Amino acid sequence: MFRNRFSSIARGIAKAILLVSLAGAVAVPAWSAQSTPSKKRVAEQRAKAAKKKPVVQASKRVKKVMAKAPVRVKAAIGSPAKRSIKADRSSIVRAAARPAVLDVAPDSVADRLGLRESDDPLNLNSSVAFVMDQNTHEVLLKKNETAVLPIASLTKLMTGLLIAEANLPMDEVITITDEDVDRLKNSGSRLIVGARLTRGEALHLALMSSENRAAHALGRTYPGGLDRFVRLMNEKAAQLGMRDTRYVDPTGLSSSNQSSARDLAVLVSAAYERPMLRDLSTSPSYEVSLDGRRVLQYRNSNRLINNGNWDIGLQKTGYIREAGRCLVMQVNLVGRQLIMVLLDAAGPAARVGDAERLRRWVESSLHGSTAPTARVGGGV
């Protein structure tokens, strides 16, 4: 009896051990499959990681290149590193939105026109230059003078001309509204929405310090509204014979505002006939009081105004990235009235440096001699 009970217990223990062993044999492979990936799965994960890595690197590279995009690289610069930067930027720009009229890249007009640096004896930074005698229309210097390109805030000279010719009351108060806020370039302004100033004050700020909200408000409050004002800008350009010129807004923030150096010389000559435009554009500084509570101090955007070497009768500066640094002036040099146009300079001080080169060249060439004519570069 005792033996039978012991045998029964032994058989039960052996059965239990067998069941546990079988369970362990099943569980261990299942656990191992979850904790230790197969070679195939590891290979798949590595392949996915390898595909993701170049994307991350490309993203960093794009950010780095875009940070350098405003920097202009001349075609004449031949170092492999700079050519690589230029190629990278060009590929990014081609994928971005472009102006409706002119395909504008961050490279200079000189690059697009194939201008060689050796063709520029004055070593001008500007891709386009034009100097003309205002009275005789004799061209003293020309460089890509018929190239049509964005003109930025030089647009405001036409805005001022229309306002001056309309004989509107200059003491009429206009209010800056949300419509005048720049949502194209997101440029800043100290004229807050709700600010009130006279039409004369708005014109002063637009011409002297290139105030965008002031210029837009001038067009918006023109009789018939903004659309009519822009239409009249184009009609006036056609009337003056500016066949290369097109306007789409009164500020120049859009790169679709375009013209040529020859056309701009015509505009400068027409604007110079208006004493008000001469006075406002050459004012060194101006204070405007907003509602009698806040006084804003503005300075001329052209630093040559305060330079004793210059006698400037009318001027306007301009800049957006697509247009580069631009400058037009009516100046008196060596007893002659000249019109100077400089477009697409590559840096803040470049247009001023080019203007100084032109002044010295004119003074040395015209002083006590007949006027020379210089073709600089590849203009048509």
What are the boundaries of each domain within the chain?
55-95, 109-375
Task: State residue 278's pLDDT score.
Answer: 98
Task: State residue 380's pLDDT score.
Answer: 34
Task: State residue 282's pLDDT score.
Answer: 98
CA distance 53 to 173: 60
For residue 21, give Cα distances in angstroms to 7, 18, 25, 194, 308. 21, 5, 6, 86, 103
Is 35 an annotated catalytic residue? Answer: no
Instruction: Decide: 317 and 153 in contact? Cβ < 8 Å.
Output: yes
Q: Which of 86, 142, 143, 156 is catalytic?
A: 156
Task: State residue 15's pLDDT score.
Answer: 59
CA distance 23 to 13: 15
Q: Domain 109-375 belongs to what architecture?
A: 3-Layer(aba) Sandwich (3.40)
Task: State residue 121's pLDDT score.
Answer: 77
Task: State residue 67's pLDDT score.
Answer: 44
Q: Which of 210, 254, 269, 281 is catalytic?
A: 210
Instruction: Decide: 130 and 375 in contact? Cβ < 8 Å.
Output: no
> Reduced to 3 states, what is the DSSP secondary structure of residue 52?
helix
* Helix (H) or strand (E) run with residue 159 in it: helix 155-166
* Helix (H) or strand (E) run with residue 130 in it: strand 128-133
Task: State residue 39's pLDDT score.
Answer: 60
Is 153 an annotated catalytic residue? Answer: yes
What stretches in the chain show pLDDT beneath 70?
1-43, 45-120, 367-380
Q: Which of 126, 127, 153, 301 is catalytic?
A: 153
Instruction: Decide: 118 and 78 in contact? Cβ < 8 Å.
Output: no
Task: Output the six-digit token pair for 25.
Answer: 């044999």
> Reduced to 3 states, what is the DSSP secondary structure of residue 329?
strand
Phi, psi of 130 (to 5 degrees): -155, 130
Instruction: Decide: 213 and 191 in contact? Cβ < 8 Å.
Output: yes
CA distance 5 to 11: 10
Whether the pTM exceeds 0.75: the reply is no
Is 260 an annotated catalytic residue? Answer: no
Task: State residue 248's pLDDT score.
Answer: 98
Q: Is the dihedral of CA 120, 123, 127, 128 positive or negative?
A: negative
Task: State residue 99's pLDDT score.
Answer: 32
Burial 188-200 (b: 16+ CB within 10 A, else e): ebebeeebebebb
For residue 3, give Cα distances in angstroms to 9, 10, 11, 13, 14. 10, 10, 12, 15, 16
